[in-house]
Amino acid sequence: MAYFDAASAVPLHPVARQALLASLDDGWADPARLHREGRKARMLLDASREAAAEAVGCRADEVVFTSSGTRAVHSGVAGALAGRRRVGRHLIVSSVEHSCVLHSAEVCEAEGADVTRVAVSRTGAVDPAGYAAALRADTALACLQSANHEVGTVQPVAEVAEVCRAAGVPLLVDAAQSLGWGPVEGDWSLLAASAHKWGGPSGVGLLVVRKGVRFAAQGPVDERESGRAPGFENLPAIVAAVASLRAVRAEAAQEAVRLRELTARIRARVPELVPDVEVVGDAERRLPGIVTFSCLYVDGEALLHELDRAGFSVSSGSSCTSSTLTPSHVLKAMGVLSEGNVRVSLPPGTAEADVERFLRVLPQAVAGVREKLGAPAPAPATAVRAEELVVDSLGKRCPIPVIELAKVFGDVPVGGTVRVLSDDEAARLDIPAWCEMRGQEYVGEEPAEKGTAYLVRRVG
């Protein structure tokens, strides 16, 4: 089985396993106690904090260990906003942040804060000018991921940090996807990360708060972790997390070159091997191991099952899955095709042979799913029947509305239109994406008696 879902979690690094087992014997005691066992545990905790600070590029007393990366984000956002309450309650986030950041923003809104969501380009990148335009006198905090978790696009953190610093606004960076590859550049103020993203054990997160940043921890606090992460530290897991971070960093430069070549190969060959595919995300400014593409006329869940049966573990941001009825918020914000979405994220050590086998298997898997769904042949029909056709796709889920659009599109003359009736949220994204891929004109949408009518004009 080839595991191609490293953006979700990376298998435990061998160094992490060794460190975990070793620290179970020496790191079980309370590091806050003064007896011999407590002092031994404290030495392990202090050494881990120093090593983590070196990897991040900060002071050791700026690092606290949390119970997860999500907890680090939630604590960081809440603490920074509370610390700057006198300034205001305005929060800035990008529209493609990880759900844990967006969930924090939603909680803030429910409590009366004002949230600005900065748009991204079709590659998934923010423009620093968007953050500059969003800044206000009452802005308390801005958030930006270092790299996107779904499409791999690297964000201009240093430039955004400079904009925020000039306005006196702290920037919180979600570095979960990138920290294993290297420190985050720029003059950021807070940082969050998660150990299971780089081969450490799950249940360990990092929260870094730079000196001078106003921060007020929320909720019950105690004396541990500077009062910012209450509760008994999971010291063996912390030791293993930091040991694995150091280990992957030592291998990162060489491994990044190899994985970039493999993902570039996937980006180039998938459109050659599979018709009607859109490769998404920035082609250059991207993480080494992530490549994402979407396939027209494909049910995302069915495709993932086919690939799983063929021996490949991948993930999807498609709405055509059992876990969601709406497209990924990342794909939606980018305005790209969502149906049949596949994210391939290669862990360090991925064999070239596995990538080649994936490229051999993928065309058959996509063709099989399309055949089951009754997808149209690549060449459109040419018979002309009416100036406007209506496709009733009410009650039908992704990718059926687009399939039915494609089947009849050749039946209208140049200048004619097809009106697609749909109540599937994915249609709002996938029909315009189909138009762009096909070189046709997306006229817009209109309210219908049931659902929404999407209008497409044939231009050639």
Q: List alpha helices for 135-199, DSSP H.
A: 157-166
**HSE, side-chain direction, 13 A CA sphere, residue 35:** 4
What does the alpha-carbon distance between residue 136 and residue 214 come to, in Å, rounded to a whole number?
18
Widest CA span in the chain:
88
Under 8 Å between Cβ of 278 and 432: no
Residues catalogued as catalytic? 320
The residues, ordered by sequence, that sit 6+ positions from 237 with a Cβ below 8 Å of its Cβ are 20, 195, 200, 201, 203, 204
- CA angle, corner 47, sides to 43 and 48, nearest 5? 120
Query: How far, in Å, are 11, 387, 424 from residue 417 at the CA level?
Result: 51, 6, 20
- Judge whether 200 and 183 are in contact, CB under 8 Å: no
Which amino acid is present at 40?
K
Cα distances (angstroms) measured from residue 116 to each of 5, 192, 446: 31, 20, 27
Say how many residues make up the chain. 460
φ, ψ for residue 456, nearest 5 deg:
-125, 130
Please spell the DSSP secondary structure of 216-232, one letter per residue. Answer: ---SS--SGGGGTS-S-
CA distance 130 to 137: 16
